[in-house]
Structure 1
Amino acid sequence: MAAAGRLELVVVRHGLTQWNRERRYQGQRDIPLLLPDAVAGLSRLRETLEAFEFDTAHCSDLTRCRQTLAHVMEGREAASPTRFDARLRELDFGDYEGCTYDELEPLPAYRAWIDSAGEQAPPGGESTAELRKRLEAWFAELLAGCTPHGQHCALVVTHGGVIRELRRRFEGIGFWEGGVSQAEGRKFTFIHEREHWQCSSSSAVPVPASAAS
């Protein structure tokens, strides 16, 4: 009997930006990395990713993700063909982009958006249902390129909201509970069983210092 197929999907968030530091909603604004401040986190992530042999890399087309990918895969680009994809962009926060929690907290519409876990779209923005739809299309294409008995390893460089949605789907946790810091992410392992790809595990990338010691 042929071995079951396996897919390791390493999904990481872009590095630090000025708006991250100021705790502003970035959404789909094309904000670059905050350099050189972002380098320490990116270098730590690059060291972790050296343990993986990626077949492909998938990246949001926004600048902060492109810069992150270039840093963590420096010298390995030819071995991992990259696909830049707008479907991997952050949730569109509409009128809230550029604002902080403290600025928005008094607004009833903002509190309603928070309470709905993003299912209610922010003014001029995108609901988590809309985010889910574009990610489902992207993920279906990814799986279509994986052979049922093959061994696959893919890197995804994306945004916090995308990782929240993937964790909600594959870890069964609430959308707001699935946050990760900049230059960190998750490794999802999928096994092909009964004609379907099933998520068998999820773990932090890089491994937290407390767990590694």
Structure 2
Amino acid sequence: MDLYFVRHGKTEWNLEGKYQGGHGDSPLLPESLRDIGKLAGRLENVKIDHAYTSPLPRAKTTAETLLDDINRKIPLTVVDGLREFDLGIMEGQKFVKLEKEMPEIIHSFRFDPSTYDYERIKGESFEQVAERTNKAVQKIVDSSPADGAVLFVSHGAALVTCIQSLLGSKVADIRKDGGLSNTSLTHLRYENGQYKLVKWNETGYLDKKLSSTDTI
């Protein structure tokens, strides 16, 4: 089975360098609609059986726009387990502000998950996010055709945690391959009870130079 993971299109808060998290949200940028169209072209010849999306508007809008652009009848289901990290008091705040106020928290979140103090910011741990996202994905895999393909639309931090956990990475190694870019595509294959990475954070089809605010 082939699994395709998409990070949502770039939003206003992404551009402004703000944490959105599992409760915050902001609209997609106009340029994101173009990028989603490019992704649709990349997936044109992939026979997707079913698509699943986080309930947060930025992901759901990305999923709906993408399926419209692919222009095939692909069912879409909202799955709460695919929502972004609960980032507690960090949500809605700018990266640069928090880097000054709690540098160790931000460093751990981005580079060293094993030392992330989620209780301090009243949010979720990497372990909690891995558990809920993996549970959601596995339930879908178990109920899908073994020779099919499914699409997931979710969020940067949640997807990095989910995918690396599915691949067997320990919490300390979740960031080892870096982050995921807006409107990126990551491809896994599930066979013989194991997940294998085919392609991490594919963005070439976007045909543009990415900026620092595109990836988390």
Q: Same fold (TM over 0.5)?
A: yes
The residue aligned with 1:92 is 86
Q: Provide the C-alpha distance between the structure 1 equivalents of 2:137 and 2:148, rounded to a whole number of angstroms.
A: 14
Map 1:103-114; keep pairs closer than 5 Å: 103-108=97-102, 110-112=103-105, 114=107
**Is the aligned partner of 1:199 residue 2:195?**
yes
Is this contact kept in 1: 2:134–2:162, CA < 8 A? no
Distance 1:47 1:74, change over 3 A: same
The residue aligned with 1:183 is 183
SS of residue paired to 1:98: coil
Map 1:2-41; keep pairs closer than 5 Å: 7-41=1-35
Match of 2:125 among 110, 127, 131: 127
Is this contact kept in 2: 1:8–1:190, CA < 8 A? yes
Q: Provide the C-alpha distance between the structure 1 equivalents of 2:99 and 2:69, rounded to a whole number of angstroms.
A: 44
The Cα of 1:114 is off from its aligned counterpart by 3.2
SS of residue paired to 1:146: coil
Q: Provide the C-alpha distance between the structure 1 equivalents of 2:117 and 2:71, rounded to a whole number of angstroms.
A: 39
Q: Provide the C-alpha distance between the structure 2 equivalents of 1:41 and 1:204, rounded to a whole number of angstroms.
A: 18
Q: Provide the C-alpha distance between the structure 1 equivalents of 2:179 and 2:20, rounded to a whole number of angstroms.
A: 15
Read off the aligned partner of 1:66 and give its amino acid letter. K
The Cα of 1:206 is off from its aligned counterpart by 4.1
The residue aligned with 2:134 is 136
Is this contact kept in 2: 1:19–1:25, CA < 8 A? yes
Distance 1:207 1:160, change over 3 A: closer
Map 1:31-180; keep pairs closer than 5 Å: 31-74=25-68, 79-108=73-102, 110-112=103-105, 114-115=107-108, 116-117=112-113, 119-121=116-118, 122-146=120-144, 150-169=146-165, 170=167, 172=169, 174-177=173-176, 178-180=178-180
Is this contact kept in 1: 2:51–2:74, CA < 8 A? yes
Q: Provide the C-alpha distance between the structure 1 equivalents of 2:12 and 2:69, rounded to a whole number of angstroms.
A: 27
Q: Provide the C-alpha distance between the structure 1 equivalents of 2:185 and 2:37, rounded to a whole number of angstroms.
A: 14
Read off the aligned partner of 2:190 and give its amino acid letter. F
Stretches of structure 1 that go unaligned for 5 or more consecutive residues are: 1-6
The residue aligned with 1:3 is none
Q: Provide the C-alpha distance between the structure 2 equivalents of 1:207 and 1:181, rounded to a whole number of angstroms.
A: 8
Which structure is higher in helix share? Answer: 2
Q: Give the aligned length.
A: 196
Identity of aligned residues (%): 23
Cα RMSD of the aligned pairs, angstroms, is 2.4
The Cα of 1:76 is off from its aligned counterpart by 5.7
The Cα of 1:49 is off from its aligned counterpart by 1.4
Structure with max Cα Rg: 1
Task: Choose 59-68 or 74-83, whichever is displaced more.
Answer: 74-83
Q: Provide the C-alpha distance between the structure 1 equivalents of 2:12 and 2:189, rounded to a whole number of angstroms.
A: 33
The Cα of 1:41 is off from its aligned counterpart by 1.4
The Cα of 1:141 is off from its aligned counterpart by 0.8
Read off the aligned partner of 1:190 and give its amino acid letter. Y
SS of residue paired to 1:120: coil
Instruction: Kindly report structure 1 stretches of 4+ aligned residues shifted beyond 4 Å.
Output: 75-78
